[in-house]
Structure 1
Amino acid sequence: MSVKQLLVLDGEKGELVKTSGRLGKGNEVSDAKTLAALKSHSEAERRRRERINAHFATLRGLVPSNEKMDKATLLAEVISQVKQMKKTAACASEGLHIPMDHDEVQVEEFEENQGNGTETIFSLKASLCSDYRPDLLSNLRQSIDDLPVKLLRAEISTLGGRVKSVFFLAASEEGPEARDVVISSVHSALSNILDKVSASAEYAQSFFPRKRPRVSY
């Protein structure tokens, strides 16, 4: 038996510290493996602390403040500023029709006006969000022309290959059932166009390869 110094990992400091203990000759191999594992863990812990401190240094550079803040105060300030930025972005995009990542069709009433005489005019807001296709706009216009509605105005926006088309429509109403029929017809027409767009996208992905094949003439 002999007395040797051991390296033990200090959980609070994340460092290896020396300690003494009695070791037998038969334990030398296992002790060497333990020592190597402890060194590896200590090195990984040191690198992790360095990355965390580097990220905190970056946050301190982004947060406008003249006084030095501890980590908890810094995180609280960053959270506050992110919330304010989200609020500002929501206010800036209010009223804008931004294409979303998912396909959708929406039809809703947004205004109601009384027409001349006994005729009641009600307004609809219909929107379709999908991938862009060359024949999409012409199909939309043809479908709207076939519906018993009048197109007041249209707003179309694109973003990264996505398009959102918003139509403001007016229709005459002869009763509650007639209004429901018009809303259902508009929704059905836009849904049919969306189905064609989705089918076209699936066909293009399955029929055309992503890589252009080599062709010899």
Structure 2
Amino acid sequence: MEMEDFTSTRINEYGSSSSLVLDRERGELVEASVKLERKGVSPERTIEALKNHSEAERRRRARINSHLDTLRTVIPGANKLDKASLLAEVITHLKELKTNAAQASEGLMIPKDNDEIRVESQEGGLNGFPYSIRASLCCEYKPGLLSDIRQALDELHLMIIRAEIATLGGRMKNVFVIISCKEQNFEDAEYRQFLAGSVHQALRSVLDRFSVSQDIIETRKRRRISIFSSSSLGDFL
């Protein structure tokens, strides 16, 4: 039987190939089985590697299912949800919890995770003063921040008559009650708005100045570490 020099190879799931060879007498393709082996890799090692991969995949899926089961015990009514629906429900639940926590701590002296400045007018005044401003500032704890705020307000002829400070985990929240040292027409709504805007701008400038100073300090620290690590010990002996 004469064979044409023409082959087409197919690889099956058992690690062997089927070669199709043209039979010139019969005028059709016939199948010839040829076993494929990776050079330098024994079948035993190949089987062992496949077993290890299968076991690692089984453990990975078991961990994922364990985490999903834990989430189902936390989220109400999630026992029959599939994975995609469960994860979507978890995200919604976390957003609701975050909103509820923010609302619950609104009137408490608890520093928030993000920097925030709030300024609002207090109608009716305080302690005999016809007009006062309540300002709150949440930020990273910064030594010297209060003195800089007092100086910025002095330049606006404003004075702090009450201050509350709370710190938590490196964050700080400051609440001030501010009055004007000047005699003004505080019944003028535009002037009150201008005064509140000036306080907000003063607090923002102080906070930005501290942030820039901190960035410069961190850059210098990284530069010193980089210079030290790039030099050998012999350079300093």
Deviations 1:17-69 (A, max 9, x none): xxxxx981244559x69978865653343122321343356557x66xxxxx9
TM-score normalised over the length of structure 1: 0.59
Amino acid at match of 2:58: R
Aligned pairs for 1:1-217 within 5 A: 6=14, 24-27=33-36, 39=51, 42-56=54-68, 58=70, 72=81, 86=98, 89-90=101-102, 92-109=104-121, 111-113=122-124, 121-171=130-180, 173=186, 175-208=188-221
Q: 1:179 to 1:97 in 2, by over 3 A?
A: same
Q: Which runs of 5+ in 1 are unaligned?
A: 8-21, 64-68
Report which structure shows greater RCO (CA 8 Å, sep ≥6): 1
144-153 vs 189-198, which moves further: 144-153
TM-score normalised over the length of structure 2: 0.55
Distance in 1 of aligned mates of 2:199 and 2:150 = 12
Q: 1:104 to 1:92 in 2, by over 3 A?
A: closer
Amino acid at match of 2:206: I
Deviations 1:106-153 (A, max 9, x none): 3233x31279xxxx9343222233333321111222333443445342
Q: 1:175 to 1:56 in 2, by over 3 A?
A: closer
Please state whether the residue corresponding to 2:192 is helix, strand or coil: helix
Amino acid at match of 1:105: I
8 Å CA contact retained: 1:148, 1:182: no
Deviations 1:154-183 (A, max 9, x none): 222223323222212345515233223312
Once the 2 structures are TM-superposed, how far is the Cα of residue 208 of structure 1 from its aligned partner? 3.9
Q: 1:43 to 1:91 in 2, by over 3 A?
A: same
What root-mean-square deviation, in Å, do the aligned CA atoms of Structure 1 and Structure 2 show?
A: 4.6
Percent identity of paired positions between Structure 1 and Structure 2:
44
Q: 1:165 to 1:87 in 2, by over 3 A?
A: closer
Amino acid at match of 2:144: D
Once the 2 structures are TM-superposed, how far is the Cα of residue 70 of structure 1 from its aligned partner? 5.0
Distance in 1 of aligned mates of 2:201 and 2:94 = 41
Q: 1:131 to 1:49 in 2, by over 3 A?
A: closer
Once the 2 structures are TM-superposed, how far is the Cα of residue 84 of structure 1 from its aligned partner? 7.9
Q: How many residues align structurally? A: 186
Q: Which runs of 5+ in 2 are unaligned?
A: 1-11, 16-30
